[in-house]
């Protein structure tokens, strides 16, 4: 993934995601996951298109198992959208329509 999508970890998840003043899209992924590589450009595109209105981050589930377990993430890629510290939406897996679905959910929270 590119610089447009910074990584978060178990140790900074609360500060970066749950305490954010903006809606946050979190892409939960792993290096070995093929569908994760397919969704990465979609997530990067949303980060670029929505700019400062939302925060977009990624989390490697292999390196950060605590948050994955707390959020009951059982499959990847999983994309969660948070607002005011609460999960508002979840998308699991990749589909050609995922970008539009995620954009619609994010824009509804603005």
Rounded CA-CA distance 66/34 in Å is: 23
Q: What angle do CA 36, 37, 38 make, to 5 degrees?
A: 90
Catalytic-role residue among 8, 33, 39, 89 = 33
Please confirm, yes or no, whether 36 is among the known catalytic residues: yes
Nearest to residue 83, comparing CAs of 3, 12, 26? 26
Tokens 């981050």, located at residue:
57
Catalytic-role residue among 5, 24, 36, 54 = 36
Beta strands in 13-102 (DSSP E): 24-29, 55-60, 78-83, 86-92
Instruction: List beta partners, residue 78.
Output: 28, 92
Annotated catalytic residues are 33, 36
């Amino acid at each position: 993934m590119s610089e447009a999508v910074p990584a978060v970890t178990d140790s900074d998840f609360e500060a970066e995601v749950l305490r954010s003043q903006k809606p946050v899209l979190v892409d939960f992924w792993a290096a070995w996951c093929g569908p994760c590589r397919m969704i990465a450009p979609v997530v990067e595109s949303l980060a670029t298109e929505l700019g400062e209105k939302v925060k977009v981050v990624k989390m490697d589930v292999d390196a950060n198992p605590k948050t994955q377990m707390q959020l009951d993430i059982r499959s990847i890629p999983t994309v969660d959208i948070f607002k005011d510290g609460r999960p508002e939406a979840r998308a699991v897996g990749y589909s050609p329509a995922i970008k539009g679905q995620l954009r619609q959910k994010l824009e509804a929270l603005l």
